[in-house]
A and B are shown apart, each in its own frame.
Chain A
Amino acid sequence: MVVQALMDQGVDTVFGYPGGAVLPIYDEIFQQNSIRHILVRHEQAAVHMAEGYARSTGKPGVVLVTSGPGATNAVTGITDALMDSIPIVVLTGQVPTFLIGTDGFQEADTVGITRPCTKMNWLAKDPSTLSDLIHQAFHVATHGRPGPVLIDIPKDVQFATGSYTAPKQAKVSHYQPRMKAEPASIEALVGLIEKAERPVFYTGGGLINAGTAACQLLTELVDATGFPITSTLMGLGAYPASGKNWLGMLGMHGLYEANMAMHDCDLMINLGARFDDRITGRTDAFSPHSTKVHVDIDPSSINKIIQVDLPIIGDVGQVLEDVLKVWKSRGRKVNEAAVAKWHGRIAEWRSKDCLSFRDSDELIKPQHALQRLEALTRGMDRYITTEVGQHQMWAAQFLKFDAPHRWMTSGGLGTMGYGFPASIGVQIAHPESLVINVAGEASWLMNMQELGTAMQFRAPVKQFILNNERLGMVRQWQELLHGERYSHSWSESLPDFVKLAEAFGAKGIQCSDPADLDEAIKEMLAHDGPVVFDCLVEKHENCFPMIPSGKAHNEMLMGEAQTQGAISGSGAALV
């Protein structure tokens, strides 16, 4: 019944790991051919793979794990999906109903443990409503603000037979989030667009979730109005990085011109972003002179951190469609002279060239490595995932995305160990495409066991490890903030990554000389199979520009700036 329900939901891939309490479902999987099961090496990785699958396809990812340790291992991945609003359906086995509450073997209160990290979860006690529940779970995961859901299925319920309900006959959930915004608020937004002198679009992961069509509407609106646009880490690719109005990413390690535009604008249009603390910096100094519009499908995002002037609840794609319609019918007006002047100011900020760095002939600079990776893969059918840390920020700064669903990173939770399994999930969904995980050596080691999964399922993922033998971002904060006392932020006893790859039967490449870099990257791209690329980079490079905690957007630190004492005591507590 479970497998039938998954098939009827259009599921083609399940990421999982078997165990005692989930054997009946595995038995069903064995006896069919329409759903492919990817056997992971650790349950956390199963969820990250499902996330990579979901983010790169727009479809929900499905995870199947056993009770107890299977479920608890999945918790980090589930929390990651919750923070980044990724639709995931997790099925966990549970001890038989008559054993629940007796501390049975591999029993854990899965529903209790995962309650705060799921959008919704259920214990399926009744076989007769199980199929209904599974259909409802898919509905909840994918409607409104997407998120992970979990169904805990006791083993006796898995064995039981019951009548099956097809998705069309399933009970309609009362959960029907509002998609269409109030017409009056659309009119109000169009009015603001017509008059704005220093406008900026600030977009987020909500646009990626809203889908490709929504991103096309965004591109149409941005290009028709000529307003500059910046995006959060999660929203990269919604508007093409090659577009003429693109400012680059904003936030703590965002581009100077993007943050300055946010600070000095008179109209901020937030589309599917949530004023995260990495974006706003000091909230009482956040964009002090702007009228703020916030479009979000989740009412609880409105006024949570920043008080806005015009909140619009709805699906961002629908809102964009309505705004375009009204704006066109009212004569496509914008304050052209003022906006042109605004672009002039932005050009001045851009001329600071905030991403510049001092390159070297002897050592590979991480920024340089990413610039070369970008240059050598530009135009390819390419998907990028990342781990968490400096390399993640550099990847966001130096890699360019012209389409949505091409960039997968752990934004909200900041999960080290996300990127490698996510890259496998992406590769499974897109077997012919180039999938690269930009990693740091420390993050990568957190889920390196998945090299086995990549080999078994012939996922030719490229692991591009910027190896500085440091927890680079931790080290950077310790340098700037903790008197250069580098407490436990170096990577001791690292493996030989080439030998490690070879031990799994994969290819390993090491590169330490800038002169060899291009050839080595080409070798990586040419290999038909998983590659672990150990790129030995400058060990003490810091990630700039940077808004130190407790500072405003116009108080960015630049690369060559004096960094000592830049963060005040109160900012230190903000992380």
Chain B
Amino acid sequence: MSALNIKKGSTSHSAYNLRDTHSDVVERHTLAVIVANEAGVLARVIGLFSGRGYNIDSLTVAEVDHTGHRSRITVVTSGTPSVIEQIKAQLGRIVPVHEVHDLTTEGQSVERELALFKVAGKGDKRVEALRLADIFRANVVDSTLESFIFEVTGTSEKIDAFAELMRPLGLTELARTGVAALSRGAEAV
């Protein structure tokens, strides 16, 4: 089907699935779903994942265009290539969904997540936590004599890594925003 000259991996512009969907390998994909900002849309999207047995690894949603009533849902999911294709097609048929983009296959993209870490401790552990936070370029957003709240922005892997380091140093609470992602380059979705 290459003669049809369709952008590789594209879903919204083409009916054709150009990837090998026969593989059994589970892949992690980041999808950007542009939806009408109206009641119940998020419930429909989430209901699709639970109703059809798909995975949600991370979900982020907020209005991105107030005048156009658009929200952007960034969902990180995992599945075999055929499951991923099916997820995209199923998302695409939800009436208030305007666009579905697979940032993992449509060229390169950047992904960021923000997390807040509450680390409580005294003495050496406290000093070590602050030193590691510096290495990770974390901001201290709250401090008492016995605790810090660090703010870390980065890929999910970076946040996982920082959490692993903080655990023995008194990590008591962790809040993560989920992934926000954009494709690289000048072109907008």
Q: Chain B's nearest CB lies how many Å from the CB of A354? A: 34
Of the candidates B4, B22, B89, the one whose C-beta lies within 8 Å of that of A299 is B89
B86 in contact (CB, < 8 A) = yes
Given known contacts A299-B93, A311-B16, A174 and B36 CB-to-CB distance under 8 angstroms: yes
Q: Which residues of B contact A123 (CB under 8 A)?
A: 39-40
In contact, A116 and B47 (Cβ under 8 angstroms)? yes
In contact, A300 and B90 (Cβ under 8 angstroms)? yes
The residues in B between 67 and 119 inclusive whose CB is less than 8 angstroms from any CB of A are: 82, 85-86, 89-90, 92-93, 95-96, 98
Q: Which residues of B contact A304 (CB under 8 A)?
A: 86, 89
Contact with A along B115-142 (1 / 0, CB 8 A): 0000000000000000000000000000
**Please, how many angstroms separate the alpha-carbon atoms of A123 and B39 in the complex?**
8
**Please, how many angstroms separate the alpha-carbon atoms of A184 and B1 in the complex?**
9
Q: Chain B's nearest CB lies how many Å from the CB of A219? A: 26
B3 in contact (CB, < 8 A) = yes
The residues in A between 480 and 506 inclusive whose CB is less than 8 angstroms from any CB of B are: none
B17 in contact (CB, < 8 A) = yes
**Please, how many angstroms separate the alpha-carbon atoms of A300 and B3 in the complex?**
23
B175 in contact (CB, < 8 A) = no
Contact with A along B1-36 (1 / 0, CB 8 A): 101100000000001110001100000000000001
A140 in contact (CB, < 8 A) = yes
A112 in contact (CB, < 8 A) = yes
Q: Chain B's nearest CB lies how many Å from the CB of A267? A: 17
Q: Which residues of A contact B22 (CB under 8 A)?
A: 307
Q: Chain A's nearest CB lies how many Å from the CB of B5? A: 9
**Please, how many angstroms separate the alpha-carbon atoms of A111 and B41 in the complex?**
11
B176 in contact (CB, < 8 A) = no
In contact, B96 and A120 (Cβ under 8 angstroms)? yes
SS class, residues of chain A in contact with chain B:
mixed
In contact, B40 and A115 (Cβ under 8 angstroms)? yes
In contact, B17 and A303 (Cβ under 8 angstroms)? yes
Query: Which chain B residue shows the least CB distance to A304?
Result: B86
In contact, A302 and B40 (Cβ under 8 angstroms)? no
**Please, how many angstroms separate the alpha-carbon atoms of A298 and B98 in the complex?**
15
In contact, A175 and B15 (Cβ under 8 angstroms)? no
Query: Which chain A residue shows the least CB distance to B50?
Result: A116
In contact, B86 and A115 (Cβ under 8 angstroms)? no
| Most chain A C-beta atoms within 10 Å of own C-beta, residue among B15, B51, B86, B90 | B15
**Please, how many angstroms separate the alpha-carbon atoms of A311 and B93 in the complex?**
17
Q: Which residues of A contact B90 (CB under 8 A)?
A: 300
Given known contacts A175-B95, A303-B86, A313 and B43 CB-to-CB distance under 8 angstroms: no
Query: Which chain A residue shows the least CB distance to B15?
Result: A313
Q: Chain B's nearest CB lies how many Å from the CB of A336? A: 28
Of the candidates A112, A115, A185, A303, the one whose C-beta lies within 8 Å of that of B4 is A185
Query: Which chain B residue shows the least CB distance to A149?
Result: B95
Q: Chain A's nearest CB lies how many Å from the CB of B53? A: 13
Q: Which residues of A contact B47 (CB under 8 A)?
A: 115-116
In contact, A174 and B98 (Cβ under 8 angstroms)? yes
A463 in contact (CB, < 8 A) = no
In contact, A303 and B82 (Cβ under 8 angstroms)? yes
Q: Which residues of A contact B36 (CB under 8 A)?
A: 174
A312 in contact (CB, < 8 A) = yes
A142 in contact (CB, < 8 A) = no
Q: Which residues of A contact B15 (CB under 8 A)?
A: 178, 181-182, 185, 299, 302, 311-313
| Most chain B C-beta atoms within 10 Å of own C-beta, residue among A140, A181, A185, A299 | A299
Q: Which residues of A contact B16 (CB under 8 A)?
A: 311
Q: Which residues of B contact A116 (CB under 8 A)?
A: 47, 51
Given known contacts A182-B15, A184-B4, A300-B90, A121 and B40 CB-to-CB distance under 8 angstroms: yes
A119 in contact (CB, < 8 A) = yes
**Please, how many angstroms separate the alpha-carbon atoms of A530 and B22 in the complex?**
54
In contact, A303 and B21 (Cβ under 8 angstroms)? yes
Q: Which residues of B contact A115 (CB under 8 A)?
A: 40, 43-44, 47
Of the candidates A145, A303, A310, the one whose C-beta lies within 8 Å of that of B85 is A303
Q: Which residues of A contact B43 (CB under 8 A)?
A: 112, 115
Q: Chain A's nearest CB lies how many Å from the CB of B87? A: 9
In contact, A119 and B89 (Cβ under 8 angstroms)? no
**Please, how many angstroms separate the alpha-carbon atoms of A120 and B47 in the complex?**
13
Q: Which residues of A contact B51 (CB under 8 A)?
A: 116
26 contacts between A and B (CB under 8 A): A116-B47, A119-B95, A120-B95, A120-B96, A145-B93, A174-B98, A178-B15, A182-B15, A184-B4, A300-B89, A300-B90, A300-B92, A302-B15, A302-B17, A302-B89, A303-B21, A303-B82, A303-B85, A303-B86, A304-B86, A304-B89, A307-B22, A307-B82, A311-B15, A311-B16, A312-B15
Instruction: Given A123-B40, A140-B95, A300-B93, output 11 extra A-B contacts at Cβ < 8 Å.
Output: A111-B40, A115-B40, A123-B39, A145-B93, A174-B36, A299-B15, A299-B92, A299-B93, A300-B89, A311-B16, A313-B15
**Those 4 A-B pairs whose CB atoms lie nearest each other, nearest first:** A313-B15, A300-B89, A120-B95, A299-B89
